[in-house]
Structures are given as structure tokens and as C-alpha cells.
Structure 1
């Protein structure tokens, strides 16, 4: 009986592993290339339960993982490189690798501006040195403001893989519902412009060495 149970557990584990590999393969094929420029790819796919497509950005940058993490944690600097960011302010620093920030996003007339509070958490695999940055929108901290639409659902996730001491591979996924009365087809049609613009400016900042001497010290490059 014990041998039978052990075999069944083994077969079940192999089945789960096989299913995961297959599902991941299909998930990868779901992404469709929307645009590509200067080594930056922006892909899109439908998101279950949402009118708004999920986005995926892929690129390589001549910088260290620690430099990119330092840039992401420098929330005020987002006003300079993140597309249509009107303001970005630190709300609470929990630790060197965790913080909360508030951001207001400018929208073209006649649309109302959007805002959100995000919770950033950075972690690194000790073996592979791969860094992940989870940055979902969270409720609280800042009361809703008149005339500004609060974004209640936003999931941003960074995977930063070191390719060498001074080169990294970046995969960024984003699924956000801007709320309000913006037609979904409008959002889906123009949503790739923001990531492409932001990543161009991000690459320029990093490759110019702005964060080379202020790289996050808790990241092992």
C-alpha cells in the first residue's frame, strides 16, 4: 500500500509539472507583439475578467540590476521618465526594499487625471541572482481627490535577470484598469505608447550611468 501511494504521488507530481510546463508554453504564445523600437518589445494579450489587455515589455539594458532597482525606488524621479506622470511622492518607506508611493497620472482633455497608491516590494533569488519587483496598486494612505479618478486595480511586475556584471534582461508585465468612462478599445489601441516611451527614457538614464554609484546595496550583481 505504501509503495502504491508513493507511486501515485510521484505520478501526480509529474502530471502537475507537465501541466505547468504546457500551460506556461501556451501562456507565452498568447502574447502578441504590438510594437518594437530600439530593442524594446511591447506585447499584449487579453486578461481574464477585464476589458483591458495586459501588457508585457521586454528589453536588455547596459546596467546592473542594482542600478535599475535604485531607479525604481527613486519614486520622485518617475516624474521625469514614466509616461504622463504628473507627480510621484514617497508615502512610507518600510525598509530598503519596500515602500509605498502616491502617483497622479495626467490624462488628455476632456478626461480626468488618474491617481493610485502603489506598494513596491523587491526580492532577489540568492542562487540565480534574478530580481523581482512587485508593485500592485493598494487601497488607503491617500483619500480620493475631487476631479481625479482613483485606479483601484493595477498589477505591475518586474523580472530582472543579470546577463553579465553590466547588462541585464528586463521583463515587465502590467495589467491596469484606468477606471472611469474611457472606452476599452481606446485604452487597448494606445496602451503600448506609454511603456515604449517610458522604457526609452529609462534606458537612456541607466546607460548614461545615473544610478551606477547609487545602486541598491542589498542587490547582489
Structure 2
């Protein structure tokens, strides 16, 4: 169970020169299509998986209702400086480069049990339409903008994902979380896929609990 929480710290689941990256990066999202397989259901949350051609690692998707207003959920997701306070195994997180209000390069280092530490730098982009009550946050690996590799720490080379939030009439939040990541190292594909799938529920519950906590809002 401890190892399955490894993916819990990955949410927060092309190489271009610095002068090219802003123009070249494309919006990250799951490919269209309904070829998802239901993996499990817990309460109002459903996890789906889908094969990715050319790789043994599956992409995963969670659909759920979060029992908190969308503004609080969004605040929880976007205040990365708080991640070390409520995400297990997150030892370090820092913004290494900010581009305007809605784009940032964020370095993560996690220290899960049983396996080596992992690190990675993500480009994180926010898209908000407050009039329609829609919030979208996506990320992709951009390690060239972060620190150089550190001996003894496994660097993730694949980490794409997104959160899509929509306000519900009952005041809660409809959420879709999508992730495609490879944990790297010598972890077999079947175990990585299991960790990715099971870890989505941990992510959901942590986000919900944090969004409900009025002491830090």
C-alpha cells in the first residue's frame, strides 16, 4: 500500500530551446475517443485506463464529484507552495520559472518508501473561464528548465496530465483527472500501472480534504 501512494505525488500528475518553448508547446489533454476500460469504482469516483500504442504504460483517468466549491478546489490545486504540507512523500517543490500569471515551470522531488527518490520539472498551464465555471490545468515534462540530474535520484521522463473542473449547481465540483506517466527506474510496467490506477483515489481524497479545510483558505 505504501508503494501505491508513489503516484500520489506525481500529479501536481518534446525538447525545445528556451526561446522556442513558449510558442511550440501544445495544450496537453487526453486523446479523443471512448476506448477507456473501467478499472474500479469507489463511491462517486470512477477510474478508467487506456492502452497507449507503442508502450506498456497505460494512461489513467478519474471522474468524480468533489464535495467542495470549485473555487476552493482550484485554490488547492494551484497553490503549489503548500504541496509539501499535504502530499505524502513530497520533499521539495519550487517554481523555477514563471511566465505570466498562468504558466510556470515547477520542480518536484519526492521520496517514496521502498524505491529511490524521483524528481522532475513540469510546465504547468492554467486556463480559467469563470463565467462558464470551467477550470483547466495541464502539465508536461520539461526537465531542461529545472535542476540538473542528481546522482541517486531517478528522473521522470514522462509526466503528462490535467485537471478539468466544472462547477455544479449543488455547489460541488465535477472533476476529471487524467494522467500519463512512467515511474522510471526498474519498476515493471504492471506494477507502475497498478500504482497509477490506485493512486488516483489518494489524490482525490487529499484534494477534497484540503479544499474543505477552512483553516488554510
* Fold agreement, TM-score > 0.5: yes
Measured in 2, the distance between the counterparts of 1:65 and 1:96 equals 19
Measured in 2, the distance between the counterparts of 1:96 and 1:85 equals 24
Measured in 1, the distance between the counterparts of 2:162 and 2:130 equals 19
Q: Which runs of 5+ in 2 are unaligned?
A: 1-30
Measured in 2, the distance between the counterparts of 1:184 and 1:130 equals 34
SS in 1 for 2:76: helix
> Which of 122, 127, 141 is residue 123 of structure 1 equivalent to?
127
* Partner residue in 1 for 2:140: 136
Q: Aligned pairs, how many?
A: 186
> Which of 75, 78, 82 is residue 80 of structure 2 equivalent to?
75
Question: Per-residue deviation at 1:131?
Answer: 1.5
Higher relative contact order, structure no. (Cα contacts within 8 Å, ≥ 6 residues apart):
2
TM-score for the superposition, normalised by structure 2: 0.76
Measured in 2, the distance between the counterparts of 1:99 and 1:72 equals 13
CA contact (8 A) 2:73 2:208 kept: no
Measured in 2, the distance between the counterparts of 1:39 and 1:208 equals 21
More helix by share: 1
Measured in 2, the distance between the counterparts of 1:106 and 1:195 equals 18
Matched, 1:37 2:42: yes
CA contact (8 A) 2:77 2:207 kept: no
Provide the aligned C-alpha RMSD in A.
Answer: 2.3
Rg larger for: 1
Q: Which runs of 5+ in 1 are unaligned?
A: 1-22, 214-221
Once the two structures are superposed, the pairs formed by residues 144-163 of structure 1 within 5 Å of their partners are 144-163=149-168
> Which of 176, 187, 193 is residue 171 of structure 1 equivalent to?
176
* Partner residue in 2 for 1:16: none
Question: Per-residue deviation at 1:113?
Answer: 1.4
Question: Per-residue deviation at 1:87?
Answer: 2.2
CA contact (8 A) 1:57 1:173 kept: yes
Q: Structure 1 residues 98, 196: closer, same or farther in 2, change over 3 A?
A: same
Segment drifting more, 116-125 vs 170-179: 116-125
Once the two structures are superposed, the pairs formed by residues 85-124 of structure 1 within 5 Å of their partners are 85-109=90-114, 111-124=115-128
Measured in 2, the distance between the counterparts of 1:133 and 1:80 equals 21
